[in-house]
Amino acid sequence: MHMTLDLNRIAAVLAESHSYYGGREPGYRADRRMTPGARDFLGSQFQAGMVVLDVGCGNGGTLIEHASKFAEGLGIDNDPAHLALAGKAAAEAGTTNLSFRLLEVDQLPSQGWADRFDIVFTERGPFGYESRSIQAVMSVLRTDGLIFCEAIGDLHHQEVREVFGTGPRFNQAIRSLDQVRVAMERNGIGVRVAADIITKRYYPDPCEWLRFQCSIWAWSGAPLPAPDDPRIGWFVERNTVSGEIETTHHVVWVAGVKLPEPPGYVESPYFPADRRSGSGRHGRC
C-alpha cells in the first residue's frame, strides 16, 4: 500500500531536537496481546520491604510506576540529562522512597553497597552481555536476590536495518538470548527465565515513525538522513501494511537469582575430571 510523503513535515521532524527520553512521544501502538512489557514483569516481582536498583534508569519510569510496592529504590545512569528527567518526574509523582545518582555500572563495587539490593534490573541498559558489568552488579546484590536483564534482540527493528543499514547487530553465530544467558550463568546466576519477546509497533504515518527512529539514531550516534533521502520513501513503501507502518520490536529477557556459590560443571562419565584438567592418565576416547 502506498503512503504519500509530506516532505515539509519530514524536514520539520528531522530538524527537531532528538532525545530518547526528552523529546515528544511519537504516536504508535504496540501489539502486546501475547507478551507483557518488562515493567509488568518487574512489577510482579517487587515486594514490600525490598531495596531495588535500576541500572541505566533513564527517566526513572519503572521505579516511579512501582514505587509503592517496595521500600527503597535507587536509579543510576551515566547521563545527567536522564537523571534530571527522573528527578523531576519523581517529584511530580510525589514519591519519597526514590533517589537517582550519576554513576557508571563499573563503579558499583566501590560504593560500599555489598549485598544491599534485593532486586537489580536493567531495561536495555549497560549490563548483560559480558562478565565485567555482571560482576559489578553481582557485588551489590544479596545472595538469592533477583537479577533481571532486558536486552535488545537480533531482530529488533530489522526493517530499518534492511533499508538504512543501521541498527543492532550482534555476533551472528550466537543469538542475543544465548549470549546474555551464558554470560549470566558463568558469573554465578541461576537462570530462571530466558525468553525472546517479539512484538510489533504500528505507526499511523511516516512522520511518527521517523520521530521515534531519529531518537534511536541520535542515541547511537548515527547520522540522520536528509529530508529527500530516497531511503525514507523505500522504507515507508516496504513496511506499510493496512494503512500503518509496522516494525519489529524484539528484546530478550534473562532473569535469575544470585547463587551462594558459582555453579560447577556436571561431571561427565565419558571425560573424568582428571582428563579434563590435564592431569592424571591420558587415553583415547
In whole angstroms, give the CA distance from residue 126 to residue 55. 7
Residue 183 lies in a domain: yes
Is 153's pLDDT higher than 90?
A: no
3-60 pLDDT, tens digit each: 678 899 999 999 988 877 766 677 778 776 656 689 999 999 999 999 999 999 999 9
Query: In the prediction, which pLDDT does 280 show?
Result: 42
What's the mean per-residue pLDDT of the chain? 86
Q: By residue range, what is the domain housing residue 214?
A: 7-261
Contacts of 239 (CB under 8 A, 6+ apart): 159, 245, 246, 247
Length of the chain, please? 285
Closest to 200 in 3D by CA, of 59, 29, 8, 78: 29
236-263 pLDDT, tens digit each: 999 998 889 999 989 999 999 999 986 6
Is 177's pLDDT higher than 80?
A: yes
In whole angstroms, give the CA distance from residue 259 to residue 238. 48
Query: In the prediction, which pLDDT does 271 show?
Result: 52
The owner of cell 511518527 is 208
Residue 145 lies in a domain: yes
Residue 281 lies in a domain: no
Residue 125 lies in a domain: yes
Cβ burial of 132 (10 Å; 0-12, 13-18, 19+) is: exposed
Query: In the prediction, which pLDDT does 285 show?
Result: 38
Q: What is the mean pLDDT of residues 62-79?
A: 97
* Helix/strand/coil percent split, the chain, to 5: 35, 25, 40
Residue 198 lies in a domain: yes
75-99 pLDDT, tens digit each: 999 999 999 999 999 999 999 999 9
Residue pair 117/140 in contact (Cβ under 8 Å)? The answer is: yes
Residue 80 lies in a domain: yes
Which CATH number characterizes residue 234's domain? 3.40.50.150
Indicate the number of domains in the chain.
Answer: 1
Residue 279 lies in a domain: no
Query: In the prediction, which pLDDT does 273 show?
Result: 52
Buried b (16+ CB within 10 A) or exposed e, 183-209: bbbebbbeeeebeebbbebbbebbbbb
Q: What pTM was estimated for this model as a whole?
A: 0.83
Residue 131 lies in a domain: yes
